[in-house]
A and B are shown apart, each in its own frame.
Chain A
Amino acid sequence: MAAAARPVSPAASLMSGGGPVARIQVSVNGQMYTAEVEPRTLLVYFLREVLGLTGTHVGCDTTNCGACTVHLDGKPVKSCTVLAVQANGRQVRTVEGLEVGGKLSAVQQSFYEEHGLQCGFCTPGMMMTATALLERNPNPSEAEIRDAIRGNLCRCTGYVNIVKAIKAAGKKMQAPPAGGSA
């Protein structure tokens, strides 16, 4: 559901010291945005600094940790290793897009219920990967879950409750829809 193309504030073009810029149009969480960015602007910084969506985090500089995971045309990717210009004309979904109409997604609800987070820093990326997994396969085995999140590092939880949360979310997603939210 795209709203009308919506220019971002002029500050958006102050990404960096005056190099050549490219004009991009990106749909983020169903909302269309237009902005001017340098080609070297990483997608994660476009989301965080230009669009103010700070839920996606930066945890490393070598494409290892997955804290920056978002969906690009439905597939989970590490947004620190994608140029914003590569997202031109494409659809991005971030953690802020998981809650719809005031209702938490099954993944969000389950992370909460299963204590699948502690400091919360890896959590958005982890949930985006989990969401993509469960949208393809709502009944993964424990081994499949652990393999699916192997690109998302967590230092706090030891993964036990993250795995439980993802399993529980899958069950919710298989069940017929019911009401209620957190």
Chain B
Amino acid sequence: MFPPQFEYYAPNSVDDAVALLSRFNGEAKVLAGGHSLIPLMKLRLAAPSVLVDINRIPGLAYLREEGNHLKIGATTRTGELLESALLRKSYPILTDAAQEIADPLVRNLGTVGGNVCHGDPGNDLPACMIALGAEMSLHGPNGHRTVPAAQFYKDTFVTAVEPTEMLVEVRIPKPVARQGSAYHKIEKRVGDFAMAGAGVSLVLTEAGAVSHASIGLTGLGPTAIHAAKASASLVGQPADEAHLQQAAMLAQAEAQPSTDLRGPAEYKRAMAGVLTHRVLVRAVARAKGGA
């Protein structure tokens, strides 16, 4: 219930934050929303000796389209995703996912950056970022680098972020015409981790064929999974029920579920298929101009 002692810093710039991370080389953790980190520290499952609070860094929380991208600052609260009319209209997969994260109180402090970087296979945004083809913008002692979402998730609680780096921004390509996206997860109880979740972003041609598709899976393996085969199976094909079903079956096979308190592996695998199908149907409807 009570975290062990630590040193606390609240820098006012990304450079200062990174300098602190370097100085403490691996012993310091970034504190953003704190709603993954502080619970771990209260249970004494994590005991970083230094916390670098990035909430006082101005200009790190934003949600805006600029050039060819939607740019989301790292300390944007997940609750703000729900409030955004822009997301609802053009990136509904993020609105869908935000609605399903934890509860509204947690979303008032939990950040997009945290949900993206924590590396829990049960976090909802990673699968969405994979589906959207997002890029994570990192800042470290050696400067700036970008990592695509599909390469960002290495293992449970392990992402591409080095101990001396921090995420500053997530960048998502702006949608094109006839692009639709959706996310859905099922849980034992609202706010719980997923039994299974799936997100997809796709683009239709004028004739109704799929020109682009990317499917991400939540809670179905050691990390969020990019269902590459399922995604590829749709490209160049009509967006009809048979092909959606086929993609769902392929996604099912690409899932790597384990049996745990959220269900037997066999069930989760089946749900990978069910949910992939559901979000595909939704995304196609949205691509065609529906909701």
**Is A–B contact present in the complex under a CB 8 A cutoff?**
yes
Q: List residues of A whose CB falls within 8 A of some B CB.
A: 16, 19-20, 22, 38-40, 42, 58, 61-64, 66, 69, 72, 75-78, 80-83, 85-86, 129, 147-148, 150-152
Given contacts A40-B2, A40-B3, A86-B34, contact A148 B104 (CB under 8 A): yes
Tell me whether A81 and B35 are in contact (CB under 8 A).
yes
Q: List residues of B whose CB falls within 8 A of some A CB.
A: 1-8, 10, 31, 34-35, 38-39, 41-43, 51, 53, 55, 102-106, 108-109, 190-191
Docked pose: A62 CA to B45 CA in angstroms:
12
Q: Which residues of the partner chain B approach A148 to less than 8 Å between Cβ atoms? A: 104
Tell me whether B53 and A86 are in contact (CB under 8 A).
yes
Q: Which residues of the partner chain B approach A129 to less than 8 Å between Cβ atoms? A: 104-105
Kindly report which residue of chain A lies nearest to residue B79, judged by CB atoms: A75
Could you tell me the distance in whole angstroms from the C-beta of B200 to the nearest C-beta in chain A?
Answer: 24
Q: Which residues of the partner chain A approach B6 to less than 8 Å between Cβ atoms? A: 39-40
Kindly report which residue of chain A lies nearest to residue B77, judged by CB atoms: A75
Docked pose: A135 CA to B106 CA in angstroms:
19
Docked pose: A40 CA to B10 CA in angstroms:
14
Q: Which residues of the partner chain B approach A38 to less than 8 Å between Cβ atoms? A: 5
Docked pose: A130 CA to B106 CA in angstroms:
15
Q: Which residues of the partner chain B approach A80 to less than 8 Å between Cβ atoms? A: 42
Docked pose: A78 CA to B4 CA in angstroms:
20
Tell me whether A83 and B8 are in contact (CB under 8 A).
yes
A-B contact pairs, 25 of them (CB 8 A): A16-B5, A38-B5, A39-B6, A39-B8, A40-B2, A40-B3, A40-B4, A40-B6, A62-B43, A75-B108, A76-B104, A77-B108, A81-B38, A81-B39, A82-B38, A83-B38, A85-B53, A86-B55, A147-B104, A150-B104, A150-B191, A151-B103, A151-B104, A151-B191, A152-B105
Tell me whether A85 and B8 are in contact (CB under 8 A).
yes
Q: Which residues of the partner chain B approach A152 to less than 8 Å between Cβ atoms? A: 105
Kindly report which residue of chain A lies nearest to residue B37, judged by CB atoms: A81
Docked pose: A40 CA to B3 CA in angstroms:
6
**Top 5 A-B pairs, shortest CB-CB distance:** A151-B103, A39-B8, A151-B105, A75-B108, A19-B5
Tell me whether A22 and B35 are in contact (CB under 8 A).
no
Q: Which residues of the partner chain B approach A75 to less than 8 Å between Cβ atoms? A: 108
Docked pose: A151 CA to B10 CA in angstroms:
28
Could you tell me the distance in whole angstroms from the C-beta of B104 to the nearest C-beta in chain A?
Answer: 6
Q: Which residues of the partner chain A approach B108 to less than 8 Å between Cβ atoms? A: 72, 75-77
Docked pose: A152 CA to B8 CA in angstroms:
29
Could you tell me the distance in whole angstroms from the C-beta of B153 to the nearest C-beta in chain A?
Answer: 23
Could you tell me the distance in whole angstroms from the C-beta of A26 to the nearest C-beta in chain B?
Answer: 14
Tell me whether A40 and B5 are in contact (CB under 8 A).
yes
Docked pose: A154 CA to B109 CA in angstroms:
22
Docked pose: A83 CA to B55 CA in angstroms:
12
Tell me whether A82 and B51 are in contact (CB under 8 A).
no
Docked pose: A22 CA to B102 CA in angstroms:
31
